[in-house]
Amino acid sequence: MIFNKFYYKPLPEYLGIKKSDIEGYGIFAEANLEGDLDLGATHIKMPIYEGYVRTPLGGFLNHDDEPNCHLVKVYDWDDYKVFHAFTLRAIEFGEELVLDYDR
């Protein structure tokens, strides 16, 4: 297969979706991950939509009071905003990635 940089891939190869003990399904590490790793876009605000569009990554990140990830606004143009999830620390293989949505 020839690599096409425009081919959409919903999750990086090192992340997967599995049944979560927290709620429904969640995002899990498929490899050991380093701290401060940009996992990709989670929420996108566009002028034509009210609220935010969640990507597959954003749709499956569960809440936890002790998060191992956080959101960072990486793009902000007028009404167009993009948030990415970053790891707060090293994540071990099999660990669920979680955010504190109250922060």
User: Does the residue 1 lie in any domain?
Assistant: no
62-63 β-sheet, strand order: 15-19, 25-29, 96-99, 62-63
User: Does the residue 7 lie in any domain?
Assistant: no
What is the distance between the terminal CA atoms of the chain, rounded to a whole angstrom?
Answer: 42
| Confidence (pTM) | 0.86
User: Does the residue 23 lie in any domain?
Assistant: yes
Residue-number span of the structural domain to which 42 is assigned: 15-99
SS3 call for 58: helix
User: Does the residue 10 lie in any domain?
Assistant: no
What would the pLDDT profile of 24-83 be if each residue is shown by its tens digit? 999 999 999 999 999 999 999 988 888 889 999 999 999 999 999 999 999 998 889 999
User: Does the residue 48 lie in any domain?
Assistant: yes
